[in-house]
Each structure stands twice: as structure tokens, then as C-alpha cells.
Chain A
Amino acid sequence: MKLINKQRWPLTIQKAIAYICFPLLYVLVVLWMKYIQKYRINDIRQVRQQFKQIAQQNPSGLLICPNHLTYIDSLLLAWAFSSLGNYMLHFRTFCWNLPNARNVQESVLYRVICYLGKCILIDEDPEKAQQTMRKAAFLLHHGHYVMIFPEGRRSQSGRVDTENYIYGVGKLHMDSHLDQVLCVYLRGEKQQAATKMPHKGERFDIRLQLQTIDNEQQGRRAMRAAAQQIISTLARMETDCLTAQNHHAG
């Protein structure tokens, strides 16, 4: 996977600037989530331990595929996955994100935060969107972590959308030439359906599962098969999580 210099250098510069600003950004975001929003991640130490083990087992890049229920899912996961110190030592494990440009382009502040938060915006224009996907595949191929929501948007039903998901995640997986993806299920205990923000004081359960993609097909069929496997895994993780939450509540 190659990228022309004109596309590669901006990523290198963005990564360097993000690294410099990261301590301040991480502290501010975590303080806001922890003390103002009063969010809690259940068993955060175990989640971090598991993520660390996965990172150690995967010296190459990693495609991370979470379910999607709120606008700040990627922030919550960044907090849950690692401490500030670990991110500073292994900055590649702080994921690149691929948000929709439409959601952030109206506000300069959002764009700055996205830039510093290692986001590459996905444009509505198919050609520009393909460029972004090429950049993401390049990053994965060069040992970076990339997060993409396979459902493509927040699930309105509150459950993993097994019907209307995107196949782009399958294409990205194929282009990355990696065997595994990390499926992540994140759910607040009070979360019923998609919302912009989680409820104040929400407690989150997080489950991680490395998924090996079995694919003997080619082209767009392989892309579809990979996306189907990722979505199926997320749906299974959801069932397990909801069963455990109901058991805990009952």
C-alpha cells in the first residue's frame, strides 16, 4: 500500500502535532468525562490490560471496529483503552478515526479537535472518501491503529444494525492485509437507543474481541463477507453484554 508524498506528509505532520498536544487534550477530555459528566468505565483496569495484551500480540497495525450509539464513543474508548503514559510511549495505539466531514466541518473548533485527535475526515464525495480510505489503509499497513464504525452511523434502534451496515470496513480490512480486526462493544447501562451524548453519570461496559476474518472470496464479495463477519461478531457481543447487564440488574 503506497501513498504519494503529497498525501503522506500531511499525515506525518498531523501525527507529530497531535503527539505534542496529546497530553493536554487527553487530560481535558478525561477530566470532562470523569468529573463533569461523571462517566465511569466498568473494570477499566481489565479493559486496559486486555487492550495492552492485544497491542503486544499485534506489533503491526490494528483495525478497530466498535458499535456506535453516541457521538463520543471514540473518546470513551480512547479513555478506556489506555492511560496517558501508555499512549505517550506507544502513540500508534491511539487510534486514527474516520468521522464524517459533514458532522464537523461547520465548526472550526470541532475541526481543530478532530485534527489533534488524529481524525481523517470522510467526505461525501466518493472520490475524496476513497482517498481517505486509502490513507487509512496506508496507516494500518504501517503499524497504526485505525478505528471505524462498521455500522456507518449511530444505530437508531439501539441494537447493532445487522441490515444497514457499510461494506467499507471490509474493503479497509482487505486493503490493510491484516488477518485480524478488533471488535469492540461499548454500551452504557442506561443506553436504550442512539443519543448524541450518553446519560450523565453513565457507567459503561466494554468488551473486546479479536476476530480473524475468514475469507476465500475476492473483490467486492470478499469485502461484503468481511463486513458481515465483523457485524455478526458485534451482534454476538451485544447479546452477551445485554444478557450480563440484565443478569446484573435482576
Chain B
Amino acid sequence: MSNDVFEQVKEIVSPYCKNKEALESATAETSFLEDLAINSARLVDIVIDFEDEFDIEVSDDEADKIRTIGDAVTVINAKS
């Protein structure tokens, strides 16, 4: 897993994250909804931010599968 991408994902997610402590100690298994307490509606914003930041397009099916930081990194790495 690319550390750079991992750190960028954390940075993108940060404004939407209600549990900042969990974000500090986040791993690939850290879940957006349960661990970081991100509102499910904001996942759409996060995926749009991924698209803008990494200049990629994420399909609806791919977006639906993004549940953890690791999932996001996998999708981004596959498309970058």
C-alpha cells in the first residue's frame, strides 16, 4: 500500500471526520462510518474529493465498496 496515498486519503477525509483521535491512529482497516464516525452522506463528497485530488473516475459500484481507508487506497492505486 502506498504510504503517500494513505496519508493523502487521511488528509482528504479529515474535514468530514468526527473522531479525530481515530483518524490519528488510523490503519488500512479503519472504517469511515464506524471508526471515523463520518456521516454516510459525506462519503459521496469524499469520493468526489478523491476524483479531484487523484484525477480519477470512480464508478458507483467501486464507490459502494469503499468502506475503509484501505479500500479507498486500493481503488485509487488501481486507477492512478
Contacts and interface: CB of A to CB of B under 8 A. Distances in A.
Interface of A: 126, 152, 164-168, 219-221, 223-224
Given A126-B64, A220-B60, A223-B44, 6 more contacts: A152-B41, A164-B39, A166-B41, A220-B48, A224-B44, A224-B45
6 contacts: A126-B64, A164-B41, A168-B41, A220-B44, A220-B47, A220-B60
A166 B44 CA distance: 10
Interface of B: 39, 41, 44-45, 47-48, 60, 63-64
B49 to A, nearest CB: 11
By secondary structure, the B interface counts as helix
B32 to A, nearest CB: 13
A126 B33 CA distance: 13
A111 B45 CA distance: 34
B44 A167 contact: yes
A150 to B, nearest CB: 10
Contacts of B48: 220-221, 224
A166 B41 CA distance: 5
Contacts of A168: 41
Nearest to A165: B41
Nearest to B58: A220
B63 A220 contact: yes
Nearest to A166: B41
A178 B48 CA distance: 24
Contacts of A152: 41
Nearest to B59: A219
Interface centre among B39, B41, B45, B64 (most CB of A within 10 A): B41
Nearest to B47: A220
A231 to B, nearest CB: 11
Contacts of A221: 48
Among A126, A164, A166, A219, chain B packs the most CB atoms within 10 A around the CB of A219
A167 B43 CA distance: 10
Nearest to A227: B41
Contacts of A164: 39, 41
B71 to A, nearest CB: 14
Contacts of B44: 167, 220, 223-224
Q: Which of A167, A168, A223 has the most CB of B within 10 A?
A: A167
Contacts of A224: 44-45, 48
